[in-house]
Amino acid sequence: MNERLARGGFPGFPNGRIEISKKTSNFRGDDSYGCHENYQVRRFEPRSAELFKETRRRLLRPFAPFLISRQPFIGAGNLTNKGEFVVSPRGMMTNTVIAGSAGRAHGQTPLAFIRRDGDVNTERSSSSDVCEADYARLQVCCSDGNVSDRQTEFKLGTTAIVLRMIEEGYLASPPVHLADRREAMQAVARDTTLTERLPTRSGDAVTALELNRLYFLKARRFFEINPMHGWEAGIMALWEEWFRKLAHNPAALDTVLDWRILFRFVEFELERKFRLTLRELKEKLADPRDEESRNAALPILRELQWKILNYFFISDARFREALVALGMVDEGLLSPQGMVGAVERLIPPADTRASWRSWLMRFFRSRGLETSVSNIGWGLIQFLNGSNELVQFTNEDPLNASYCAERNAPLSDELLLGIVNR
């Protein structure tokens, strides 16, 4: 696409360039779309028409405070139009961007919601097909898109451990009951000092780091009596290391965490180029009586916001590579060559829906039959066979990548090829 643009572009768009960005908040910094994490969770007994509500209640009660507490570890950072640097732009927007498939997840649980096959929200708990399912999809929408692959590793790994403790009945309630989860989410999202104290229902207060530490200690005790999966030991070690650094020396993660990288860059650039502090920039933007100062500060703000956007570019990583060369960013877990190799060798784990979908995509693509597929999801495929008839297969067992619900049997290459050619 960019090659065509370089040759003359499109009508009305002669000299443009398309960039792909991993930034999940808008340019102004006043809205955020979030990073959607998806976790497969077992439904709780007893099986009944209230199953969805029970699963939602028993998951979110111990889970929601953890989501609030993890923001200092996984925030992507942003500079708002008011000149305020925030740890997590998505966390800051919890009051205006409600997570819910139909906008109905109000009140106590704006942080996450449960959906099955991506299209069923908690209010449809009386639906029999939902109640009979063994699994739910927990979709968490209160984090940011990270450039740092180490943060992504931390985010998914620690969250999976907490969900395992909940599923196995070890974590039935949160270590601390916060007075207002929505206000707590916003407060932590804005707190670059990591010292904001969050009121609890008992009248005490905790910081996000203190709250997160309680979850870590709970996990450590859990693994004293339960076996670890192969990857969990590494995540637990990383969790302990990052907590220690954020609690005692946050600068030790200045080249690892997206928000720390950008916070340090903004302060450095303001001092180097404009002889300003972040506080002074914010004051200039906030003073309605001094229009001259505000007009002078706006171009500075826009320049910094543009450079932050450049940090998140996937299609053009020159700015981020320059920060790496300056020693302001670690290279991360994977080199560019390593990422290419990972994509080429990509085979999802066999006990996931991704394996089922990946196998089907490879099957149709390798035979030049992509155009016969009319719809493919994580648990459903619809395609036209040789007689131009629409065929549908579903997989309701995510732990069995070859399972076919319509035949109640495994779906092999040979069987599928016979159906396609029929």
Confidence of residue 50 (pLDDT cuts 50, 70, 90): low
Report pTM: 0.83
The reply to whether 118 and 242 lie within a common domain is: yes
Q: How many domains does the chain have?
A: 2
The reply to whether 312 and 361 lie within a common domain is: no
The reply to whether 228 and 317 lie within a common domain is: yes
Give the residue ranges of DSSP H helices in 196-257.
208-225, 232-248
Q: Show the tokens assigned to 155.
A: 């985010």
Could you read off the pLDDT of 163-203 as tens digits, one per residue? 999 999 999 999 999 999 989 999 999 999 999 999 999 99
pLDDT value for 105: 38
Could you read off the pLDDT of 144-160 as tens digits, one per residue? 999 999 999 999 999 99
Q: What are phi and psi of 144, to 5 degrees?
A: -100, 160
Q: Show the tokens assigned to 91.
A: 């966390």
The reply to whether 254 and 203 lie within a common domain is: yes
pLDDT value for 47: 53
pLDDT value for 115: 33
Assess if residue 260 is contained within a domain: yes
Q: What is the mean pLDDT of residues 385-389?
A: 87
Q: What is the mean pLDDT of residues 290-317?
A: 92
What domain range includes position 247? Answer: 35-325
The reply to whether 109 and 217 lie within a common domain is: yes
pLDDT value for 112: 45
The reply to whether 359 and 262 lie within a common domain is: no
The reply to whether 149 and 218 lie within a common domain is: yes
The reply to whether 321 and 359 lie within a common domain is: no
> Do the Cβ atoms of 348 and 364 come closer than 8 Å?
no
- Give yes or no for residue 95 having a pLDDT over 70: no
pLDDT value for 84: 95
The reply to whether 42 and 92 lie within a common domain is: yes
From 257, 291, 325, the end of a domain falls on 325
For residue 311, CA distances in Å to 79, 188, 376 come to 13, 23, 33
Of the chain, the percentage scoring pLDDT greater than 70 comes to 78
Could you read off the pLDDT of 242-290 as tens digits, one per residue? 999 999 999 999 999 999 999 999 999 999 999 999 999 999 999 888 8
For residue 282, CA distances in Å to 83, 84, 176, 266 come to 5, 6, 34, 12
The C-alpha R_g of the chain, in whole angstroms, comes to 24
Confidence of residue 45 (pLDDT cuts 50, 70, 90): low
Assess if residue 30 is contained within a domain: no
Q: What is the mean pLDDT of residues 231-248?
A: 98
- Give yes or no for residue 130 having a pLDDT over 70: no
The reply to whether 49 and 177 lie within a common domain is: yes
